[in-house]
Structure 1
Amino acid sequence: MPLYMDVHHLGEPVSVDDVAKAHLADLEVQDKYDVKYLRYWVDEDRGEIFCLVEAPSPDAANIVHKEAHGLVADEVHLVQEGS
Structure 2
Amino acid sequence: MPLFMDVHNGIPEGADAAAVAAAHKADLEVQDRYGVRYLNYWLDVDAGKIFCLVDAPDTASAYAVHREAHGLVADEIHPVLQG
- Rounded to whole Å, the distance in 2 between the matches of 1:62 and 1:41 is 17
TM-score normalized by the length of structure 2:
0.90
| Amino acid across the alignment from 2:9 | H
Instruction: Establish whether residue 63 from structure 1 lines up as the match of residue 34 from structure 2.
Output: no
**Which residue of structure 1 aligns with residue 5 of structure 2?**
5
Q: What SS is found at the alignment partner of 1:78?
A: strand
Pairwise CA distance, 1:80: 2.3
5+ residue gaps, structure 1, are: none
Percent identical residues = 60
Q: Is the 8 A contact 2:8 2:76 kept in 1?
A: yes
Give the length in aligned residue pairs: 82
**Which residue of structure 2 aligns with residue 29 of structure 1?**
30
5+ residue gaps, structure 2, are: none
Q: Is the 8 A contact 2:11 2:50 kept in 1?
A: no
TM-score normalized by the length of structure 1:
0.90
